[in-house]
Amino acid sequence: MTIQWKQEAEKRRDEIIQELQGLIAIPSVLNEDDATEDAPLGTEVKRALSYLLDAGERDGFTAKNVGNLAGHLEMGQGDDLLGILCHVDVVPAGNGWTYDPFEGAVHDGKLFGRGAIDDKGPTIAAYFAMKMIQELNLTLNKRVRMIIGTDEESDWRCVEHYFKHEEMPSIGFAPDADFPIIHAEKGITDFNLHLTRFKEDERAPKIEVKTLYSGERYNMVPDYVKAELIVHAEQTYLLQEFEEFLKEQDVKGEFYVDRGLLTLELHGKSAHAMEPDNGINAGLLLVKFLCRFECDARAKTYLSFAKKYLYGDSRAIALGLSGSDEISGDLTLNTGVMRYSEKEAYVGLNVRYPVTYDMDERRTDLQEEMDALGVTLELLNDSKPHHVDGDDPFVQTLLSIYEKQTGEPGKLLAIGGGTYARSLKKGVAFGALFPGKEDVAHQKDEYIDIEDLLSATAIYAEAIYELACEK
């Protein structure tokens, strides 16, 4: 039986776009201030989960809500289970969008919106792949289950809860990264470094830094920073230097004075933490600027630490954490959060480390070094690396499907991102970003190319057919 998968996807073009626009219209950003018993991660996150579960029930799948943290849509029969792991939560939209981030506007063959490529677009592609199998009346010899998470961008409480209560798939893929296929994912750990030891001012400082605030998520390069200062001398000079600094760095910023308090704001460029060099870290850039001036001793300790150990060092060389391997490449470091005030002084770091790297040992070494500096390491989480052998028949099947549909050679990839594939015993990430295409995940004006969306739908449909259907 020969099925023209891309043609089948093309027949459903308008329906696919409309369904994706409906999902994008829900601003499903984690909001625990808005949490309830029925919506533990916020009402909008719950609404996105319900949107997909309701659609699946309408279209004839078996739908199940698992504790309002996750859910699944299932079809087929048999003992074996093929999992397709997706997520409907998104990172905050940020500023500076050309189009409404929660509209799903279509321009020049692209559909724009937060989550368009990460991960609502690929989720809808996988959803319609399942629909195509169903509508073509193909016989399944396995169960196929789309598992829907709601906390992928934060703490993965969704899959943790899900797999405590539900079956682990035999094999599975996550449409939440790049084609051809990702068989290795770096380890990911978040931790804070709290400064606890400060020098005293020996003389009255020219500048007192009252607060510095940058970043909301550890897995994003922060695109905004705000600092509040009291300037006792040469304020005009400082502001002239600030304006010149903005020009030198080719970034935007503002300042204003209110009741003796000078506020500096600087705008960088957001990017995914898997490659911090793709962004401009607003917080660290302002640190670099403020280190030029005679600040109070407490602030100077904080700023000097950040400049010495973090600025311009995406490979964590200064912290002594650098490492690399042939499977997954370099360790990366992102300073995602900076907080400074009279009550706290810390930086929040996201480190993505190679699959052969011993993070436990290296973190112990770092803690010893930081203790000597009066800095406390607070470990928040550590998701260990994930790796599936590239010669596994499951992996080779997916590679052959990709090659058949694209006419391009398939190859094995490793990433610094973390996908739900690592929650499976045998799972890989499989699309939906095609080689050579711009990766705009977590950035303003995020989009998915509509032709790529249809191509991904076709690839996922054939993957389900080859892995779970009778021939």
Q: Give the C-alpha separation, 181 to 152, whole Å.
A: 20
Whether residue 360 lies in the annotated active site = no
| Helices then strands, each counted (H, E), the chain | 11, 24
* Closest by Cα among 171, 158, 8, 152 to 79: 171
Total residues belonging to the chain: 471
Distance CA 187, CA 114 (A): 25
Look at residues 471, 470, 466 and name the one whose alpha carbon lies nearest to residue 171.
466
> Given 89, 118, 151, 153, which residue is catalytic?
89
Read out DSSP for 305-364? HHHHHTTT-TT-TTTT---EETTTEE-EEEEEEEEESSS-EEEEEEEEE-TT--HHHHHH
Residues 6+ apart with CB under 8 A from 11: none
Q: Are 71 and 148 spatial neighbours (Cβ–Cβ below 8 Å)?
A: yes
To which H or E segment does residue 439 belong? none
Catalytic residue among 119, 152, 178, 449: 152
- What does the DSSP assignment read for 220-268? B---EEEEEEEE-S-HHHHHHHHHHHHHHHT-EEEEEEETTEEEEEEE-
Whether 223 is a known active-site residue: answer no
Decide: 412 and 183 in contact? Cβ < 8 Å. yes
Is 229 within 8 Å of 287 (Cβ atoms)? Answer: no
Taking the C-alpha atoms of residue 51 and residue 89, their distance in angstroms, rounded to an integer, is 12
- 89, 159 contact by CB (below 8 A): no
Q: Which residues make Cβ contacts (< 8 Å) with residue 201, sequence separation at least 6?
A: 296, 297, 298
Buried residues in 236-263 as b, exposed as e (16+ CB within 10 A) = eebeeebeebbeeeebebebeeeeeebe
The set of catalytic residues is: 89, 152
